[in-house]
Each structure stands twice: as structure tokens, then as C-alpha cells.
Structure 1
């Protein structure tokens, strides 16, 4: 029977009993007559049609209607039936079958229904009209009322000689409520809601209906003496904790104490199952190396965990003739004060727990232990921990004293009463193992900051029983002193070095012919400076600034000031002739031995008759055993990047040689990797950067992979005192101008077709591999693909011998070469690819343009250089970038062509420096030839932002390839 919304109506809530689900409410709207009375005209209301009756519903009504929908049998069927096609009758008959019913599902349904009913009854308390439904389905059969106040329950226990009587009494508004034998009904159990005489009562302290149910039709329960003790401990004690209990025949004693806070810590093992650890904080910390803090409070002899929600704890004591229940009442406000104290000290305790990383935890303990104990905390380790950790004061005193050519290091660590030599922590610091075993077996946790503060000290120091640092580690010693990490004592001479502002001027040797430019004289003074302090040095001036002449001046000075043995000068074979020429020109009195060639005299006794022995890296490798029997005055490595691979035979052989002083000369200290720097620095100042393993972990990986600027600065600070690097723009003001140009070349149609075909092939292959296997497995394929594309951008003939078309770049290069030559200029043409030079050669031959040529296989390098420098009819020099990038003086040229630029601008700069160096009188014009719409153009754009790992020292090829992102690769191949 429909209710009309155009006429008055009212929403009502009707209680009925379901055969299986117990007491439920259903919502209805009922038509109201002209006298304001409810009529028999009614209809069910649900969330589906509630909006039609919105005019007379409030927010609580909408909530109630929706909640009542959720407890109707169809909703229960949808929520709990795994077979959705099962009818309601079949479902309930199966689940509630007395013999084969599903008990677990019954309990789950009951929990759901009770929770919903409890919420519904709370909302109905807000003045809602409520009825009991008639057997004929009339929703307004008998009105009931929800009592506005809550009733109280007092549980009684009377222990007598034979048994114990147990019963409850109920009071409402101060009056005893007679509910036994009164047809009272519990319409909800959790919590209890009692229907009595058309009134529905709720209870304080959320009494469970199961505790009242037995007494609806029973005066009391008898507990026999035989089960008394078990009953009292399992039932009475929890009841006393939660509710008001009146006892006769035994005692209930209220006990109040001032709580004492206990902070207990324990290690969370990686293997510990989440179920064995209480709370979400611990479960989230299932990994090795974390510490769990547990806050609890001691009340008299009782320990209460903070995470326990109950404010009252009860324990039972059996006396000779009865029982005593000790009712401990917690002081929550005092507990909160102690909790705040931990918060002030940055330990955030939630639900009684806090979890910290082990190192952070013990650092916190060491800093706060004393303060916590002063305000009443007891800090202790859990007895279930396998390890016994030390907590207490940890202090460290480190002293450094200069002794001759090294620094002595001594230090003492105090762990409470124990004093331990600092050197005992060496392996722990180097391996970042924070656990140190004390003499009594306790485990002390080394403060986390020590690993950062002292790892370099242990990595660079030598000795197992006693630590020493070489003098070249003075920057580290300064840092330790400035950071108040060590007390330093040193001689007046070294103190002077620490505060020096200018390097002393040194007189030029009498036998030096010529004059050094001001910056070269400064370099000569610097070489004396590192020599006087017994440091190894790296002269890393730009190419063309005269490293050779500065070194020769220093060697002449050594000769004139009583050098006791010869100097060994090691270089690429191609530079031997250049050194001999320069020595003849500037230091003719130096006795030079050319220790190269197949027929060299392998006799080190011969060296004493010479001042300088010139040799190559190859000879050092071959004659290593012989050469290391001689103690040289200096060992000098020219183009020292030749030893950049520390594991190569060349690098090993050179490091084994013996000398008083060591010096390296290079324009590019780093070519491929930061490890290049380690190899060369370790030659001039052994141990300066620690072991190779240490350097890789502490510097190479952070700098190259993580772009760690702090590590980059730290590396600079360590090497800065031993490197002198000047740029031409800074010092060689007399050099003529260098004008750089970029010439863009358009591909021919045939060339473009070849390029696009190759690009598509590699793009698909590389990007697919990148998706499937990540960047690590793509580098070789990427390098291969980029190389092929670069070659096609030069000329497709380089990859396809059958190619019959032309090349846009070749046309442009030949055109510009012809133009330059016709105006009487000389030009250096560099290419990374010998194949490319071969193609250029054929074009020059056709035009009868004369040239000289140099690549890695050229034997008569000197002759080629002399012809180009002296013969005016030869205006072109074709040079492979690798073979001619260093050691050549080609100032006759005033044009430089770079045909195929690559990642490393430093390599290109070296090539340009063959012409733009001291002695050049003319403006030098450089041209980079870039093929448009190819990978060359994109490489040019990437150069600026991808290769500056360590400013002015590190510029790499391999490292840039490794650091390319998927986006970079995508752009290169687009």
C-alpha cells in the first residue's frame, strides 16, 4: 500500500525477529491522518527510494535507512554467499543446519549483524519513533522507547563454604531495575541492549549481553568449589578489570602507585616472523640492523606495557583460605608526561613502540641515556636478545704528530670503563661494520658519523700495529684538525706550508738556454715547491703551454745542484725525438741517453754517465725487472694517461720503479674514468687516494653513477695540492686568437637513405633491448650503432664498400680544403677514422693537392712533421685523432678541421693545440664539420650537459655512454 508524499507521512523503525539472524530493524514510512495519527497505510523505505520522501527525513534517517538495508536477509545473502545464485531459503537452511551447519560462517554473520545493530540503536536513541512489528507485518503494532540514559551493572560474587553465587544487578537513573523473570529480551549482545517493558536499555562500559543472558530467567549461577580457582582467574579477574564488582568472601583491593618508566630495546632479526612481533611498527621493520624500543611502566611489582589500552589491570593472589584480587589503576597522565619526554628527545613512540636503524638507535641512546636516567627512566636491553649491547658514554681522542717524512697517528676510544686503541677499529671503519666486541663480550655500536669522519684516515694510513700517514696527506690532517677530530702537532716548516700564500721564486739554472714566459717560470717554481716538500706532482697545463721546457729547466737545476743519479723520462715512442730536440735547444749540457730501440744496451750501470734517460712505456714494460734495480733521481711520465689503467702491465711496471722524486705531465689527467686519476695520483703519491677498492667505492661510484657533488669536491681537495693546471686562456695572453666555427653539411639523397635505414634498424634493436634488459646490457649495442651512424654521416663508403653515391660532408670538406689551400694557408685535417682519411686522400689525389699523412701505423712520424712544417708546397696534413692528438708541434698550420666530433671535447682541444700553441704567429681557424639531421648534431647538443664529472679534470667517453638515460638514447636515435 503506497504512501503519498503529497499528504503527511512519518518515518518509523520497526523491530522484528528473524528466524536465523535474530532481532532486526526495518524502516517504513507511514501515512498520517488529519488528526496526526499513524494509519495502517505504510510502505517499506530503502536507500533506493528514500529520496522520494526527503521532505520529512533528516541526516540520521538517511544513515539509518542505509544501515538497515545492510542487515536485511538479501543483503546478508549477497555479502556472505559464495554461490550468488543460491536462494535465501537454501542459503540459510544450509548455513544454520543444526548438525551440518557452517559454525564459522554463522559467527561471521553474527559479528556483522551485532555491529550493525549496535550502530543502529545508538542512532535511534536520538528521538526516533520505534515500534515492535506485529505478527501480521504491521510495522506500528507496539511502540517502544529507547532509554536516553545508560544503565549500570554491578556484578555480585558471594563466596561461602561450599560454592560461589554469581549474579548481576541493574540500575537505571539510580533505581534498581527488576529484569529477571520479566520477559526481558536482549535484542543486541555486543554491546548489550535490553528490551524490558517497552523500554530499550543500553549500558555503561559496553557490557556484553552474554553476561546478562543467563539471568533473564535465573536468580544466580552456582560455581562449585572444585572449579573455583580456574573460574576466578579466567572469568572473575577479567570482569573486575572491566566492570564494577561487589564481592563477599574474598577481597578486591584498589592499588595505586607512581609509575616508573622502562625503555627496553631489542634487535629485530631479519628472520623474525611478523606474527611474533607485536604491532605494525615492528612488522614494518623486519630487516636486519633495526632496533625496537618498547616503553612500559612499573607500578609497584607490576609491569604494564604502554600499548595495553586498559586503564585497570587485575592480578589474582590465592591466600590460604581465600583470594585477593589486586586491582591496579594506571596513572595515565603521568605516563603521557614520560611519553612527551621521549618526544622532546626525538624518539617518536607510537602504540608503545619506536623503531630506528641500529646506528641511529645507539647514537640516540649514547646521547640521551644520562638525561633519561636523571628523570627516572630505566633503560635496558631485552633479555631475549642474543647479543649483549653496550650502552653508555663513547668518547674518542685522536692525536697526529709529524715525524720526519710522515705523520704518526695515535688514538684511544673509551667505551665506558674500557679503553681501546683506535687502530683496533680500522677494519670496522673500512668495512662499515658498526659492531665492535668489547673485552667483556658486549657489543658496542660505533657512532655512524665516525665512518664518514675517519674512513679516509684509515684508508690512507699505513701499518697494522701503528698507524702512519705520508706527508702528502697533509690536506687530510688539516681537515681533521679543522673539524676538531684530531689534535695535530707538526714542525715549524710544515706549519709554514699550511699557511703559505705564494710559492718562493727559484733562480734559473745557469745552463738553461732561452727564457721562460712568466707562467712557465711560475710552473718551474711550483716543481721546486713539490720537490722540496717531497711530494709527487702533476703538471697538467693545457697542450702547447710548454710542459716540456718547464721540466727541462727543473732537470737542468737538478744537474747543477748535485743530483746523485739519473732521471728516467718515460713517454710514448713518438715523443722521444721531440724531447731530444727540445733538450738540445734549451738544455744542451744535459747528458741524454736514448734508451729505446731493439739494440739498446741493457746495462743500468750505464745510466750513471747520463743526467736523463729517455725511454718509452713499451720499453719500461719489457725491461721492468732491470730498471727497478736502479734508484733514479726523478721518474717523470709524459702523457701519463698511458698508465690510466691501474691493472695494466705498463701501470704496474712503472709503479715498481724506484726514485727520489716523481712527476707526471699530462694535458688530460682523465680520459675514460675517474679511475684514470687514481692510477696517476697513486704513482706520484702512493696511498694518496687509498686502495683501488676504497677509491672505487668512495669516489668513483658516487661521482660517476650518483653525480655526488660533495664527493667530487672532496676528491678535488685531496688532489689539488699536487696538480698544477693552467689554461691557455688564463696564461698565454701572447697567443693569437683562436676562432671556432661549426660547418653544417647536408646529406646527399643516397646518403640520407643509407642513414635512415641503419638508424631504424638500430633504434628498434636498442630500444627493445633497453625495455627488456635495462641500460646495462645496451651499452655495447648503443656504441656499435652510434659508430655506424657516425661513419655514414661522414661517408656511407665507410660501412658499405659497394656504395656508389656521394657524401655531403666530403663535398664540403674538399671544397673548404681547396679554398684554404688556394689562399696559401696550411690545414690540419683530423678524423677519428682511418677509413675516412683514406677517402679524403683519394679526393686530394684527384685534385693533385700534396699532403703529409699520419696514423698509428706511420713509422716516420718525425719526417712527416718536418715536411709539413718546412715544405711550403705541402699545405695539408691528414692525421688520425688518436695518433696525432699529442706530442706534435705543427705551428705552420693556421687552419684545423675536425671531421667527426665525438663526446670528448678535450680530445678535440688536444688536436687543435697542435697548431694553437707557443710559436704560433697567426690566428688559428678551427672548423667542426657536422652532418645535419644526424647523430652528430645531437651529440653536439649533449656534449655541454653530459661530460663534466670533475671540472677541468674529468671528461670521458665511456662514462657518458654509461650515463645516457632512455630519453637521451631516444633523442639520439630519433
Structure 2
């Protein structure tokens, strides 16, 4: 409803909806009046009032009843608009006409058998759907922990498609997935009633038709346990059943489709870095020609019939996001037999376009695949539920009321409900188990060590100067709101401090040349400053668009020095607010500056280093560790991870001078080039590469690097899950040697504080799936920013419990 800010209205108040046919501004007006008879607003003119007014005037609707639902916020009201639940009353004979009119106008009508019906705050509905917390928790426990639950029956992969023998845990996963796809069981929380109907015991939704089974779920095995081969076995099983092969091994295949069977293509959606993993797995484990695969990226077909000829269509999240608003998108108009979201944590932002795109896909069977289903908060799981169409949890309000809010409030029932819910639809096994229990697979051990490094006197002087400038600037900003208005400035200080820990050459030393001025005019009229701000985005992987929470595409810098995707900020400008989402300053199109395009990295490996520039302390330590490792085992291979692409290029010259045969893998490379690098690195022999320089973004997920046995993390990452993914590129199925992970950390620096932040995130995720402990997002963000700059108790932490330490 359109709300008048001066009018008062209480939470969950019954309101009067009064037709105003003589309203001089709108002949369809329907006024909203509170319990005291005061007018508090109007129903939206289009399409609500425009549709409901003629129905009221004609008598097809004989009454409207409105309720302003109780808000969970302590704030009084949202200016100019408030939610209003409108209940319609019509005679049974007129119901069909009313429903048709609403449908034509694009207004959603929620019947009493719709899962959202129970969200109504009408007294009658609330009484009908009333349940105590204890009853709700009992329902969750019945769903997640059913007694007498049959154990998972292992299943062999189809031998005419899959050449490799599966591990026992992969056979169990294949059996579990096949059962979930082929079972006719009712979805969780549904039961059959005595009269032959069906009822959702959680929402009280009733229907005469049997609800379709939930064909799919969350496959969340730990990274490195061979999920891709298990998925290929599932797809191969579909192909084998479809073809109907029942002949002895070696006999000529007879390709005859089952009667009535149509095309059964599987759409696999993954990040670009994971393409190489699927291609490699297909080449190594699948019989040549048994599965037809189409790469849906780059130049791709728009012919639906052509795509239906294939068993597997591989594409990326970004491509689906790009095609989401295109009417001629082929993937949107295919009824897929199966959709697999690999590395599905990519869609943790429910408002991102690529998330909306995958949720909108038509599919009979849906699978979410990720070794890190929760990275920051339990809300990461909501988009996964929306993709799986798992009602009622695919409805955001249900997820927030039953799961999210209890978790955030520290209520133990929230965690219990979440565990039971996941127990009903997910499978997760981990590699590392408690002492005394059998490991999932026989992998060599993995050791994580920290190598603490002292900066040189010159490096320390520059670092301390930068940190002091950052602290002074933070103190100058003062309160929380001022810090958030200058959020990007603080981020630039943090980024520069992190770069100084790695190599001084990553950071321009003239601080005043890149610190944004307090004057907006100076920023908007200084193209050199804007160019330097853009270079900051290119230097690090930290910058996410605050609107879509993804790395910016077509990066735009505002006159108030905040960074967004062009598409995201343009939508804001077209809205009624036209303000910067971070600092709330007014913006126009003239206040936006498009960042220069990112230049492709030097793929031929000819990156040069200034000959007269001394090596940084961290690079010297890395070279010392690499030489020691090579002396111990000349055939050993290592992977050096960094988030700074420029650093990977700078490392090439000193490593080559030291006699190492190197390769580089970064995010600017084409998929073909990445695959070539990974294959070359895996190759053995006396002249084979011994060191791979890899960016976390390009090689942090879905890449098999088991040719190496040592991992060096050159700079720590905010999210511990990203680092775990990087480690598990090496420590996974196929690894024959003991794996050593070395994290290079500068003493008394921001890097130690990042370790502390990582540990805090791990505790939050493991203890309560990301509960926030009662603090809001802004307070947590400012607290972390202060900690990174060493303010308010954010000094050097004790970074223990992660293995032995090495001397720098």
C-alpha cells in the first residue's frame, strides 16, 4: 500500500479498504483507513486498484479485508510504502471470474491450498494454522531423523559408459542419488490423509493431487572426494537405461530408446574454472563416444533441437545470467531431464541475476553440488532451496521465520531444524574424521604450516607509514556511519597493506595520489585518480559489487568513489531513490565513470622484473622453501597461490633465474589455455614443469592439481573456505604423496589479523551456521574494518592450532 508518513498505524492492524469512486485523482482509488478511521494511504493504483475497483463496483467482489502485517523490525515504518495483506470475499459462483481478472492483471492470488496461505495474519487463518514451537520442532525431527531409515545401498557405475572402478563412498553416493531421483516418496512434510488427499503438516496446505516427489537434493561431499565422477556415473546410468543395453561386454551396441522416452539431456552449470575438470574427467573415466557433450559457451547454437541431441550440455552461471533476460535464449525453453549446479555456492546471493536464471530453469531433476554449502551464513542455503523447489523453504519468508531468524537470535532450535532439514535432502561426507574412526578414503595426510616472515627494515618503514595513515584516516572518519560512507577508502588502505606484505612493487607509494579527496568535485574531475581506482579493482579479487555481491562486470566508479557493476548501479539510478547504496549521496548518470578494461595477462610467460630491484622478504622466503623442497625430492611439484595477478607475473623472472621450470594459471586465460596449462603441469619427466603459479580465482575450485604435493599460499584470503578449496586442488583423490601446505605470513601485520578473522568465521559457521550473535551487519563490518587496521583491540593475534611453524 502507498503509505502517508504522518499517519500512524500499528503492527498487525486490521485496516479498512474503502472504495473512492469520486476521487479526483483516480476514479479507481481504494483508500486504506486505520482502526480510528484515519486515512493512512491508498492501495497501489496499478495494477491493484485498477483491477479490484471494477470488481467491487460490479458486485463480483462483495468485500475486501486488509491487514498490515506485524513487522519484525523495531523501526516504525518504511516511508511511503507498507505491506498490506488483502483478503477477497466473493460468492462461489463469481470466484472463477474474479480469479480470471486477477490473473489477467498479473496479480498473484493465493488460495488456501497455496503454501504461502499460512503466512496470512488474518485471525481466522492464524488460528487454523496455529502450531507451537514444540510441535514445529517435532515435525522437523520426524523429517530429518526418521527411525528405521534404510541405509544407502551402494550402486555400481554402468560399465558400458564408465571405465573406472568407483570407490565405495562413490558407489554409496550413486545409490543415494539414484534412489532420490527414482523414488515416488512424498516430499518432506507431506502425508496422505484419511480421505485420500494430501496435506503438508508444516503449512497445513491441502491438495487432492499427490505432490510430485522431490527428485534431487544437495550433494555436499567434501572437496576432493570425486563428486564429478559420481555425477558422470549418474548421467551414464540414465544413458544406459535409455539406450537399453543388455549385451555382453565387447558386443556391438544396440541403440534403441525405451518406448515413450524422449531426449534426456543433463544441463551442467559451473564456473569457467571447473570446465577443465569436467573435460578431464570425461577423458579419463568415460568410454569414448558413450556420452555426447556440448560446450554451451562462446559461439553457441540457438537451435533447441540441436541441443537435445546431446547427453550433457556444459555451461556457466555467467552465461545463464546474461541470457536470463533474452527471449531467444535456448536453455530457457528446454525442459531439462536433469540440471546440476556444480560449485553451487556461487548462487548464494538470491538477488543476483545468475541465481534467478538457474531458479527459473525447467527441470525434472535438480541437483545442488558443492563442498562448501555454507560459506558465511545459513542464508547461503536459501537460494539452494529455491532452486530445488523445496516448498515451503523456497519461499523466503518461511526460510526466515523457521530457520534464519531462530539461528540469528541464538535459538538452538534453529540449528536443530536446519540439521534435520539438511538430513532429509542432502548427503555430506568429509575426508578428515576424528581419531579412532575410519577415514572416508585412503588419502595421504595433509599438514598445514605457517611460515612467519620478518619484513626488511625498509619494507617495515613503508608498511608502518601506510598503516599509520590508515589508522589516522579511520579515526578522522569517526562514527560508524561516516566509516561506511567512506567504505571504499578504508578498503583501499586494507588492500594496500596486504600488498605491501607481499611485495612493495604492487603498491604505489605516493599515498596522497590515490586517497580519495573529501571533495566530490575533485574526484569527478580527476581522470587520473579514477584510473588509479580502477587499477585497484584489477589488482585484487576483493572487490565485489555491493548490490549483486559478485565481482563487478563493466566496473563503474561513482563520483563518491564507490564501485559497482554498470548494470546494477544503472538500475538504482532508474529507481525513485537515485542514491548511492553505500553513502546515500545523490547520483546522476554524469556521476558514473566506466573503469578501463582489464588488460589480458602475459600468457606467454614473458613477465619481466626490474633487474635492479631487490626481491621482497616474502619472495626470498618462498624461493628458500622451494629450493629446500626440490633438494629433498627433485621430482616434486609445487603450486604457489596468490590473489594478485600482477604478483604471479612478477614471480616468473626470479623463479626462472633460480632454475625452476614454471607455468602460470590465472583468471584472464581462456578455458582452452587453462586446460592446456593443467595438462602440461600434470605431465611427468625430467623437463616437466615443477612450479605452477596460480590465482585463487582461476584454480580455487574444480581443478585437479594432484601432480603437486606442496602448496604455498602467498597471501591469506578473507574467506577460509576459498583457501580450503585451493588446498584441496592438490589433496584429493589421485594424490599419492603426503601433502604439505605452507602459508606465508608477515609478522606483526594485517596478515595475522586476517588469520584471526578466518578463525572467527570458522567458529561462526561450525557452531551456529553463521549466526550473527545479535549484532547487525553494519556493526560487524565496521568491527572487522577496525580490526584490519589494528584499531580497537585488533592487534596481533595468537595464530596457533594450525600445525607446526616454520622460521622465516
Please tell me the TM-score bracket, short chain as reference. Answer: 0.5 to 0.7
Instruction: Say whether residues 1:650 and 2:348 are aligned partners.
Output: no
Is 2:713–2:741's contact at 8 Å kept on the other side of the alignment?
A: yes
Cα 1:944–1:621 shift into 2, 3 Å: closer
Is 1:850–1:876's contact at 8 Å kept on the other side of the alignment?
A: yes
Q: Distance in 2 between matches of 1:845 and 1:755?
A: 28
Q: Distance in 2 between matches of 1:822 and 1:684?
A: 51
Query: Partner residue of 2:265?
Result: 566
Q: Distance in 2 between matches of 1:772 and 1:579?
A: 46
Query: Partner residue of 2:304?
Result: 604
Cα distance per residue 1:642-674 (max 9 Å; x no partner): 323322232222222211110021122244555
Query: Partner residue of 1:767?
Result: 475
* Residue 833 of structure 1: how far off its partner (Å): 1.1
SS at match of 1:740: strand
Cα distance per residue 1:365-416 (max 9 Å; x no partner): xxxxxxxxxxxxxxxxxxxx959xxxxxxxxxxxxxxxxxxxxxxxxxxxxx
Is 2:407–2:771's contact at 8 Å kept on the other side of the alignment?
A: no
Matches within 5 A, 1:658-697: 658-671=362-375, 674-692=378-396, 695=399
Q: Distance in 2 between matches of 1:481 and 1:634?
A: 38
- Gaps in structure 1 of 5+ consecutive residues: 1-269, 273-286, 291-356, 360-384, 388-422, 440-461, 471-476, 489-493
Instruction: Say whether residues 1:547 and 2:219 are aligned partners.
Output: no
Is 2:348–2:383's contact at 8 Å kept on the other side of the alignment?
A: yes
Cα 1:485–1:973 shift into 2, 3 Å: closer
Q: TM-score, normalised by structure 2?
A: 0.58
Query: Partner residue of 1:964?
Result: 784
Cα distance per residue 1:482-512 (max 9 Å; x no partner): 9457999xxxxx9999444234415423433
Query: Partner residue of 1:843?
Result: 654
Q: Distance in 1 between matches of 2:452 and 2:394?
A: 47
When Rg is computed on C-alpha atoms for both structures, the one with the higher figure is 1
Q: TM-score, normalised by structure 1?
A: 0.49
Is 1:681–1:689's contact at 8 Å kept on the other side of the alignment?
A: yes
Instruction: Say whether residues 1:821 and 2:630 are aligned partners.
Output: yes
Query: Partner residue of 2:642?
Result: 831
Query: Partner residue of 1:378?
Result: none
Instruction: Say whether residues 1:727 and 2:433 are aligned partners.
Output: no
* Residue 638 of structure 1: how far off its partner (Å): 1.1
Out of 274, 295, 300, the position equivalent to 1:575 is: 274
Cα 1:742–1:506 shift into 2, 3 Å: closer
Out of 99, 113, 124, the position equivalent to 1:467 is: 113
Q: Distance in 2 between matches of 1:903 and 1:496?
A: 33
Is 2:145–2:423's contact at 8 Å kept on the other side of the alignment?
A: no
Is 2:177–2:234's contact at 8 Å kept on the other side of the alignment?
A: yes
Instruction: Say whether residues 1:523 and 2:173 are aligned partners.
Output: yes
Instruction: Say whether residues 1:944 and 2:759 are aligned partners.
Output: yes
Q: Distance in 1 between matches of 2:615 and 2:113?
A: 68
Cα 1:437–1:881 shift into 2, 3 Å: closer
- Gaps in structure 2 of 5+ consecutive residues: 15-34, 38-63, 74-81, 89-107, 117-127, 184-212, 243-260, 434-438, 511-609, 797-808
Q: Distance in 1 between matches of 2:138 and 2:646?
A: 63
Q: Distance in 2 between matches of 1:866 and 1:479?
A: 60
Is 1:745–1:808's contact at 8 Å kept on the other side of the alignment?
A: yes
Cα 1:678–1:779 shift into 2, 3 Å: farther
Cα 1:807–1:626 shift into 2, 3 Å: same
Is 2:640–2:713's contact at 8 Å kept on the other side of the alignment?
A: yes
Matches within 5 A, 1:184-263: none
* Residue 463 of structure 1: how far off its partner (Å): 6.6
Q: Distance in 2 between matches of 1:606 and 1:438?
A: 48
* Residue 580 of structure 1: how far off its partner (Å): 3.2
Cα distance per residue 1:826-846 (max 9 Å; x no partner): 110001111222222221132
Q: Distance in 1 between matches of 2:736 and 2:446?
A: 11
Cα distance per residue 1:127-181 (max 9 Å; x no partner): xxxxxxxxxxxxxxxxxxxxxxxxxxxxxxxxxxxxxxxxxxxxxxxxxxxxxxx
Q: Distance in 2 between matches of 1:925 and 1:948?
A: 24
Instruction: Say whether residues 1:858 and 2:669 are aligned partners.
Output: yes
Query: Partner residue of 2:519?
Result: none
Matches within 5 A, 1:629-644: 629-644=333-348
Q: Distance in 1 between matches of 2:637 and 2:395?
A: 49
Query: Partner residue of 1:795?
Result: 503
Matches within 5 A, 1:393-404: none
RMSD of the alignment, in Å? 4.4
Is 1:904–1:956's contact at 8 Å kept on the other side of the alignment?
A: no
Cα 1:486–1:771 shift into 2, 3 Å: closer
Cα 1:945–1:651 shift into 2, 3 Å: closer
How many matched pairs?
A: 534
Pick 1 or 2: higher relative contact order, CA cutoff 8 A, min separation 6: 2
Query: Partner residue of 2:716?
Result: 901
Q: Distance in 2 between matches of 1:953 and 1:536?
A: 26
